[in-house]
Structure 1
C-alpha cells in the first residue's frame, strides 16, 4: 500500500555514497578471501598483533547488539504491515540503520577473530557466510529505506521488507552457528526431549577444586579413587555416546580400564604422567571447530573438566584394579545396635554419650549450652517452624522446673497442626509434592497433600508411612506415579524409572539416576539393576535402554538388595507393590531407617551424620551414633516425634551454633562435628516469621491448601496463613523454595542476587512492609514504644541502648510511614532475625 503522504520520520539519512558500497564489497570479499584484507593490517595475522586479537575477541560482545536490533525491527515491520508511516516508523528506521552498521562491524570483528585464533572447519564457514549475508542484507535494507523515504520510491517497500525479514532470519542462523562453534553442534538440540541429542541425565557434581586443594604431595588411595570417579563421570556424560559398549567410534572405548589404556585405532590415547604427550589431552583441548576436537557431539568440555582430566593424567591416570571387590564404599544393609557407653555424672541422653566418646577421641571440650532465649527460639523454628511470641518467651523464662526444656519440647511436639504445617515443607520437597505446577492441569501428576498432612498430624509410624507410599491408596499414589511428561521423553524419565529413582533416593539414600542411563560411574550399580527395580512399578516388562538407545534386552524384576525378599515378576503390579512395601519396610532393612534418622539429624544440625543425605554409602562421622539411633528408632515404634524429642533434648543439640566460611568443607573427610551449624531460615520459616512480627504475608485464605476440601471450612486454625500451605510464587522462589518437579532433599541456604532483589524491590514484600508500618503507627504513635515493641516481637528482647539510639534517629519523635517501613526492613534483614542460632 502506497502512502498518500510521507510523514517526517525524524531520522536524517545522508546520501549513501561510495563508502557504504565499498564497505559492503570489501566486507564480502575480505571474509571470503582473507588475503585481500591482509595489506590493511599493519602486522600480518600470523604474528598475532595484540590489537587485532583484542578487537577480534570483542566479536562475541558486539554481535548481540545487531542481532537484537534487526530482529526487533523485523517484528515491528510486521506489526505495522498496513501502515508504513505509523508512529513507530522513526524507531524502526533507527533500529535498521544502527543494526545494519552493527552487523558490518560485528562481521569485521568476527573475521579478525577467525584470523587471530585457531578456528577452522565447515561450521566456521557456515557461521562466516551467514554473518556476511546478514551484514550485506542489513546494509541493503538500510539503502532501500533511504530511497523509499527520501526519494519516495514507494514500490520498494515490499522489497525492503522482504530483505529485512531475510536479514532477521540470517542473523538468527548466524547466531546459532556461532553458539555451536563455542558450545558444540548440539547446543540447542541437547535440551530438546524429542531429539536424538537430548541429554536428560544430570551433570555430575564438580569436585576438582576439592581434590586439588586437599592434595599435599602424592595422592593417597582415597583421593586417587575420588579423582578417578570424577574423570569417569566426565567420560560417561560426554564420551559414552561414541566410545562405549553400544558405539565404538575409532575403535576406542572409555568405559573400562583396560580398554581406555589400550586406546583406539590410532594407538594409545594416554601416556600416564605426561599430559603433553597424551592424545586424549590434545583432542579435548583443540578448538571446537577442529574436525578432531573431542567430544565430537554434545557440549564442549568445560575448562574445569579439561583441567581435571589433565590433572588425572599428570598423576599417572590412577584407576582401581579390576580384580578388587569394589572400588566404592558399600554401607552395611543389616541393622546394628551397638552397646551404649555408660552414663556420666552430667550426661544421660544417649546422643550425648555417643558424642562424648567422639569428643574424647578428637580432644574436643564440651562448650556451655545456649541461653534459654536462644534455645526456645531454636526449638520453635525447628519443630513448628515459627518464632515464639513475647508472651511465650516470658512464660518460659519464668518456668522454674529443672527439666523445663524437655517439657517445652514435648509441648511443641503435641501442637499437632503446627507440627504438621512445618514438616509439610520438608516432605513436600522430598516427595516432589506441590499444589500447582507441571502435570496437574493435564492429569499427569497427582497431589498427595491430604494424605501427607494427615500422616504428619497423627504422627503415623514411619514404617506404615513408607508402606503407603510404596503400595499406595488413591490419596498417596502421587509419589511413585511421578510426572507423566507430555511428548517423548528420555527412557530414564518414564514414570516407572522415576519411581525407582525417587524411592531409592528418598527412602534409601541411593542415587540411581546414573545407573538409569548407563552403568554407574559413582557406584557398583548397573543399568540392569536400575531397570530390574523399575520393573517392580511396571505393568509389563521394560526393555533396557542404554543412553536412550534400546538394547533389545528385557529387564528382570527384583529389589536392589535381593536379601530383603523376592518380587514375583509375573504378578500384577498391585501385588508387586505390596511385596515391595513389605520387604523394604521390614526391620531387617537397616538402610531404610538409617536414612530417615540421618535426614532428621541433618534438619536439626545443619549437616547429616552422613553427607550428602542422599549418599548413604558415604562414611559417617560417627557410625555408632547413626546405627544406634536407627535401631532405637525401630525399637520406639518408628516414631519420628520420639526421635526429634531425643535429639532436641540432648546437650549436643543445645551447644552454641557453629558458623562456617566454606560450605565445601562440610562434605570433606576433614569435617569435625562440634555442634549445630548456624542456618538461614527456609523460605517458609522466613515468611511465617515476617507474618508474626510485621504483617501476614499470605492473608488470602483462598490461596491456601485446605485438607477438608475446596468447598468446606478449613479445619486448620492458625493466626495467619502458613507459607507451607500456599502455592509457590516469586517471593518464595527467591527465598529458595523449589518447583518440586524433582526430588529435593536439601536446599541451598546461601544468599543470592535474586533473594537480594526480592527483599529490596519485591512487590509482595514491600506491600507487607507498608501495611505493617501503618499498623504499628496506629498502635504506637511514639517512636520509642514502637521500637521496643518491634524488638520484643522480632528478637524476644529489648533493644540495646545503642540500637535504641540509632532507631530513634531513623524514626524521629513521630515517625512517618516511609521511616517505619525502612526500620522494619532493617530489622528483618539482620542476621539475628534471619538465622537459627
Structure 2
C-alpha cells in the first residue's frame, strides 16, 4: 500500500514525525484496559466496565492517529525493508481489532469481546516491536540477551604457537602486523586513536605506541612479561586497571598474538607512510608466456605453477563429464539427450572447443544463465525491498540485452556507471530503508557498490571510520561518494558530523580527476571514463578473477572482493587481464579461453571444509566441485521432469522479441520464492558476488518436505505416465535426461522397485525425487 505525499509540504513531514509520540498512547491505554478487564473477570464484577470502555475508545482513537501518521511517515521519510509492511499491517489490524472490541462490548458478546481484547493488545505489542526493529535494527530485543554478549571462542593463531627463534618470511611478518593492528583497532582505538587519546596514549602509530602514555611506556619490545599493555589486558574484568575499561574483553588468542608480537620485538613497518596492508598494483602487466607443449597459454602458466610446487597433471575428464560441466557453466542447462549423443559420437579432435563455441553462440540461453550472476552483483531483482518506497528500479531489459549481445566489458561498465534511463537502477543504489545512518546513505551505497563490484574493494568499514582492515580512510570514502551526490556531503565519523565537507575524488587518483564544479551527470561520466581506461588493470583483473571463480569454483584470488590479496598465480592473472583488454574486452572469448584449457578439463576436486578454499596457501589442482545454484537446479528440474514455472513473473517486463525466444521460463527470470530462497538465491538488497554452495538445513527441509517441488514432480509424473507407460522405457529415458546416461543393472532394479510393473503417478514422482536428490544430479563434477 502506498500513499503519495508531496515532499515539499512541510506539514506532512511534521505530522509524520508525531507518529512515535501518538503511538505510545494506544499501547498504554489498551494494555491498562486488558488489565482492568482481567481484574473484573477474576472478581466476577463489572466495577471497572465504564473505565475500560473509556480506555478502549481513547486507545482506538489513538490507534487511528498512529496508523494515519505512520502512513505519512513511511511515505515522507522513505522507510523500507521487509519489516515495514509487517509493521504497517499489524498497526492497521490493531485498529480494526480495537474497533471490533468496542462493538462487541456494546453487544454483550462477552467471551468473544475478551478474546478480541487480548488479540488487540497482542497486535499493538507486535506492531510496536516491528516499529522498534525499523528504527533500532533487527536485533533490538535479541541484542539484549546474555548470549549475544558472550566473547567469541578463541581461535588458534598461526603465530601464537610459533617459536620466537624462528625467522618469519615477509608474508608472515605482514600477516602478523595485520593481526596486531586489527586487534588494536577493534579494541583500543576508540579510546586511544586519532580522535581520542585517553591517558595521553595513542596506539595507531609506531612513535606514539612506543612513547606510551602519561604513565610511561606500555610495552618493552622483546619482553611481553614486563610490558604494561599485556598486564592490563590480562587483568580480571572487574579490576580497576583492566583494559579495555568497557566493551568486550580480548580473547585469549588475541592476547597470545600480542604477546608473541612483543616477544618478536614489536616489529612495525618502517616509516609511517608504509602500509602494513598489501595494495595490489594498479597498472596492467604482461608477463612472458612460459615455454611448453600446451597450446592454450593458460595451461603453460598452470604447468609452470605445477612444476614449481612439484604437482603433476592428471588425465582430463571424459567427454560426458566435460559436456555436462560446460553446458551448466556456460548456459546453465543440462544437455538434451540428443545433443549429448551427437557430441559423444563426434570424432573431431577439436570437438570440445567446437561445443563450447556452439554454447556461447546460444545468446539467449547464455544471457538467461549469466543474468543470475549479474543480478546478484548489481542488486537487480524483480520485487522486494526498495520497490515499496519506489527507491529502486530494475535494469533487467538492459542487462539481458547487454549479455545477449556480448557487450564489450568496458562499454558494459561505462553504461552502468554513467547510465541511461534503462541502466540507471544500479548506480542510484537502493533507498531500502532511507538514510538509516551516514554510512548507508544512498550516495555511499553507490560508492560501495562500484568499489566492490568493479574494483574488488570493500569500502564499508571506511564509510564509517578509517578502516581497520585496510589503509582506506574515511575522507577517501566520502570523497568517492561525493561523485554520486547532488550536493556536497559532510563527513560523519561513526554517525557524528565532524564539521568538514568531503572533497570529490577518485579512489585511485592516478586514473584521473573529477571536476568539483561539474554536475552529477558529468561527474559520473568522468568516473566511467576514468575507470574503463586500459591503465586500470584492477578493473580487468577483478572481472577475470570473478569469471575464473564462477567456472573453476575458486578464484585466482579469494575472496573475490578482496583483490589486494595475493593470487595463487600472479602471472596467470596478469596475463589473462592484459589479454582480455587487448582482445576487445570480450567476456565470451575469455570464457572460451578458460573452458577449452587443459586446466578446466582436470577432474573436479573437493575440500573437507569450505574455509580451506580461503586459505592463502591454497594450491590449485583443478576445478572445485560446485553445487547447482538455485536457478540451475530449478531449470534442471524443468528440463528433466516438468517446467517449474508456467509463466514469467517479471515485474520488469522484457521486450516481446526477447520473450519470444524463451522456450520455457528460466528461474533467473522469475521473482524470488521460498523454493529459490531455500536453495541459496539472495534477496539482493546487498551486493552478492559469490554464493555459499554448501548444503544446509533449510535446503534439506525444502527438498524433502517443500510443497513446490512436490507439486512440480507430481505434475510431471502425470505427463511421464502418459508418454512412457512401460516402466523400463520410463526409467531409461529418465536417467538419460537427468544424468546423461543409461542406468546400470543395480540402478534399474532399484528404480523398478520404486515404480512397479504398472507405474502410477505417485511412484513416478517418487523416482523423480530420488533422482533429483542424487549428488550426480546436484553437483557439477
Shift of 1:785: 2.2
CA-to-aligned-CA distance 1:766-807 (integer Å, 9 cap, x gap): 111222223223333333222212111110101111111222
- d(CA) in 2 for partners of 1:226, 1:716: 55
User: Which one of the candidate residues 236, 247, 253 is aligned to 2:196?
Assistant: 247
User: Which one of the candidate residues 320, 324, 327 is aligned to 2:276?
Assistant: 327
2:336 is the alignment partner of 1:389: yes
Equivalent position SS for 1:211: coil
User: Which one of the candidate residues 689, 696, 700 is aligned to 1:745?
Assistant: 689
CA-to-aligned-CA distance 1:646-674 (integer Å, 9 cap, x gap): 11111111111111112222222321111
User: Which one of the candidate residues 767, 774, 798 is aligned to 2:742?
Assistant: 798
2:676 is the alignment partner of 1:732: yes
Q: Which moved more, 1:662-671 or 1:689-698?
A: 662-671
CA-to-aligned-CA distance 1:421-465 (integer Å, 9 cap, x gap): 000011111111111111112111221111111111111110011
Which residues of 2 match residues 100-139 of structure 1 at below 5 A?
Answer: none
Which residues of 2 match residues 534-613 of structure 1 at below 5 A?
Answer: 534-613=481-560
Which residues of 2 match residues 485-500 of structure 1 at below 5 A?
Answer: 485-500=432-447
Which residues of 2 match residues 402-421 of structure 1 at below 5 A?
Answer: 402-421=349-368
- d(CA) in 1 for partners of 2:553, 2:460: 25
2:604 is the alignment partner of 1:657: yes
Distance 1:584 1:495, change over 3 A: same
Shift of 1:478: 1.6
Distance 1:461 1:247, change over 3 A: same
User: Which one of the candidate residues 175, 178, 198 is aligned to 1:226?
Assistant: 175
Asked whether the 8 Å contact 1:704–1:721 carries over to 2, the reply is: no
2:254 is the alignment partner of 1:306: no
Q: TM (normalized to structure 2)? A: 0.77
Shift of 1:475: 1.2
Distance 1:622 1:823, change over 3 A: same
- d(CA) in 2 for partners of 1:194, 1:802: 56
Shift of 1:612: 1.2
* Match in the other structure for 2:157: 211
Which residues of 2 match residues 625-704 of structure 1 at below 5 A?
Answer: 625-703=572-650
* Match in the other structure for 1:623: 570
* Match in the other structure for 1:315: 260
- d(CA) in 2 for partners of 1:776, 1:76: 63
Distance 1:694 1:498, change over 3 A: same
Asked whether the 8 Å contact 1:704–1:725 carries over to 2, the reply is: no
CA-to-aligned-CA distance 1:68-113 (integer Å, 9 cap, x gap): xxx9xx9999499599889xxxxxxxxxxxxxxxxxxxxxxxxxxx
Asked whether the 8 Å contact 1:791–1:798 carries over to 2, the reply is: yes
Asked whether the 8 Å contact 1:518–1:527 carries over to 2, the reply is: yes
* Match in the other structure for 1:9: none
- d(CA) in 2 for partners of 1:542, 1:294: 36
Asked whether the 8 Å contact 2:479–2:502 carries over to 1, the reply is: yes
Equivalent position SS for 1:552: strand
* Match in the other structure for 2:55: none
2:376 is the alignment partner of 1:376: no
Asked whether the 8 Å contact 2:306–2:312 carries over to 1, the reply is: yes
Which residues of 2 match residues 362-373 of structure 1 at below 5 A?
Answer: 362-373=309-320
Distance 1:786 1:293, change over 3 A: farther
Equivalent position SS for 1:551: strand
Equivalent position SS for 1:545: strand
Distance 1:79 1:456, change over 3 A: farther
Equivalent position SS for 2:174: helix
Distance 1:421 1:574, change over 3 A: same
Q: Which moved more, 1:776-785 or 1:494-503?
A: 776-785
User: Which one of the candidate residues 774, 777, 781 is aligned to 1:830?
Assistant: 774
Shift of 1:486: 3.6
Q: Could you tell me which runs of 5 or more consecutive residues in structure 2 were left unpaired when the two chains were aligned.
A: 1-26, 43-109, 145-151
Asked whether the 8 Å contact 1:276–1:282 carries over to 2, the reply is: no
Shift of 1:695: 1.9
* Match in the other structure for 1:120: none
Equivalent position SS for 2:753: helix
CA-to-aligned-CA distance 1:381-415 (integer Å, 9 cap, x gap): 00000110111111111222221111111111111
- d(CA) in 2 for partners of 1:607, 1:410: 23
Shift of 1:491: 1.2
Which residues of 2 match residues 291-302 of structure 1 at below 5 A?
Answer: 300=248
* Match in the other structure for 1:516: 463
The CA RMSD measured in Å over matched residues stands at 3.8
Shift of 1:502: 1.1
- d(CA) in 1 for partners of 2:234, 2:704: 44
- d(CA) in 1 for partners of 2:231, 2:645: 56
Distance 1:227 1:475, change over 3 A: same
2:736 is the alignment partner of 1:788: no
Distance 1:187 1:193, change over 3 A: closer
Shift of 1:817: 3.4
Distance 1:292 1:736, change over 3 A: farther
Asked whether the 8 Å contact 1:509–1:616 carries over to 2, the reply is: yes
Shift of 1:722: 0.5
Distance 1:748 1:194, change over 3 A: closer
Residues paired across the two proteins, number: 660
Asked whether the 8 Å contact 1:354–1:624 carries over to 2, the reply is: yes
- d(CA) in 2 for partners of 1:689, 1:352: 31
- d(CA) in 2 for partners of 1:399, 1:296: 73
Q: Could you tell me which runs of 5 or more consecutive residues in structure 1 were left unpaired when the two chains were aligned.
A: 1-70, 87-153, 174-185, 199-205
Equivalent position SS for 1:553: strand
- d(CA) in 2 for partners of 1:804, 1:192: 52
- d(CA) in 2 for partners of 1:291, 1:827: 65
2:385 is the alignment partner of 1:438: yes
Shift of 1:230: 3.7
Distance 1:487 1:679, change over 3 A: closer
- d(CA) in 2 for partners of 1:776, 1:278: 77
* Match in the other structure for 2:715: 771
CA-to-aligned-CA distance 1:536-565 (integer Å, 9 cap, x gap): 112222222222221112222211111111
- d(CA) in 1 for partners of 2:160, 2:327: 39
Name which one, 1 or 2, has greater alpha-carbon Rg.
Answer: 1
* Match in the other structure for 1:38: none
- d(CA) in 2 for partners of 1:79, 1:459: 68
* Match in the other structure for 2:82: none
- d(CA) in 2 for partners of 1:602, 1:529: 29
Equivalent position SS for 2:289: coil
Distance 1:231 1:682, change over 3 A: farther
* Match in the other structure for 2:79: none
User: Which one of the candidate residues 276, 286, 305 is aligned to 1:337?
Assistant: 286
